A and B are shown apart, each in its own frame.
Chain A
Amino acid sequence: KQEVTQIPAALSVPEGENLVLNCSFTDSAIYNLQWFRQDPGKGLTSLLLIQSSQREQTSGRLNASLDKSSGRSTLYIAASQPGDSATYLCAVRQDSGGSNYKLTFGKGTLLTVNP
């Protein structure tokens, strides 16, 4: 059974700092990995999707990397801003010959960026 762990559970940084969020998964046979952002009381917003054959994806100040063999992904946020404050969730989709579509989520990292 796939298990996804996110460390740290909470992180507080001053504005302008570069930071890294970590995600690890126990079964490396994944189809893809997705990073989401969740604001308090809101739904999930997809940030980046990395296919199993890819090493990284970038969107603006965000960069996500994937090391499938070691079961790890990182989300790098450059020049953090108070508006980046949210919970960041990592989710993996298992590779079961293309017949498994569900995502297994970590419990998230609560990020606070202080002005």
Chain B
Amino acid sequence: DARVTQTPRHKVTEMGQEVTMRCQPILGHNTVFWYRQTMMQGLELLAYFRNRAPLDDSGMPKDRFSAEMPDATLATLKIQPSEPRDSAVYFCASGLTGSSYTFGSGTRLTVV
């Protein structure tokens, strides 16, 4: 089965450090999403791309977060500087128009 691959699976970092999370979407999928999941807020959309172009990043704190898609096989989410409140599970998902979306296994980020 095709799947969305996220790395790293777990990341512990100190406050103020830069964090980069990577996602390899399913080949051929033209829409890629970044979601964040916390116990309090549930799943929140941070940003998404269609055909590699950013369509919506309104859910992302722009002073510290950035999302890019340098090519069709790689999406990145970067936090600089990281803060303890960024601790969460970050999910990448990909899909095609009108179809269901496939989620990766997530990156569990802990900022101490």
Q: What does the 1/0 interface line of B38-79 toward A look like (CB < 8 Å)?
A: 000011010010100001100000000000000000000000
Which residues of A are at the interface with B, using a C-beta cutoff of 8 A?
Answer: 32, 34, 36, 42-46, 49, 51, 89, 91, 98, 101-108
Q: B99's closest neighbor in chain A, by CB?
A: A49
Distance in angstroms between the alpha carbons of A105 and B93 in the assembled complex? 14
Given contacts A102-B45, A103-B45, A105-B43, contact A34 B105 (CB under 8 A): no
Q: B47's closest neighbor in chain A, by CB?
A: A102
Distance in angstroms between the alpha carbons of A103 and B91 in the assembled complex? 13
Since A44-B93, A102-B45, A107-B42 are in contact, a sample of 15 more A-B pairs with Cβ atoms closer than 8 Å, ordered by chain A residue number, is A34-B100, A42-B106, A43-B104, A44-B103, A45-B103, A46-B101, A46-B103, A101-B31, A101-B48, A101-B95, A101-B97, A102-B48, A103-B45, A103-B101, A106-B42
Which residues of B are at the interface with A, using a C-beta cutoff of 8 A?
Answer: 31, 33, 42-43, 45, 48, 50, 55-56, 91, 93, 95, 97-106
Distance in angstroms between the alpha carbons of A108 and B42 in the assembled complex? 8
Most buried by B among A51, A98, A103, A108: A103
* Shortest beta-carbon distance from B59 to chain A in Å: 9
The A/B interface has a contact count, at CB < 8 Å, of 44
Which chain A residues border B101 with CB–CB below 8 Å?
A: 34, 46, 103
Q: Contact partner of B56 among A34, A36, A44, A102, CB < 8 A?
A: A102
* Shortest beta-carbon distance from B105 to chain A in Å: 4
Which chain A residues border B42 with CB–CB below 8 Å?
A: 105-108
